[in-house]
Structure 1
């Protein structure tokens, strides 16, 4: 697809290290991981809420 080989990835890694510094990279990766975790948790939360709504409607309980 993009055709990135080992050489290109090494060059990108060197550029990232030069731009951000070796000390900031773990902080950036930690923040990225927390963001992905929060996104996945949000998706699961939406699915659980949608499941609860359909379960409540399927029981046939009167709404009035």
Structure 2
């Protein structure tokens, strides 16, 4: 699937000025820090990498980091 989309953020970030944004760009899922906008670095993930990360987040595997 190749879909290009605009940057989105989680609804929980609505009242915060610190959040990341994500989008689908071709075959990749991209993530950026909102404060840097268009000039900041972008991390790119394959759908498989993204799925693995989401699975770990849902299982609480990264909770000790916050």
Q: Given the two structures, how large is their TM-score scaled by the length of structure 1?
A: 0.34
The structure whose Rg is larger is 1
Q: Which has the higher contact order (CA 8 A, sep 6+)?
A: 2
Q: Which has the higher strand share?
A: 2
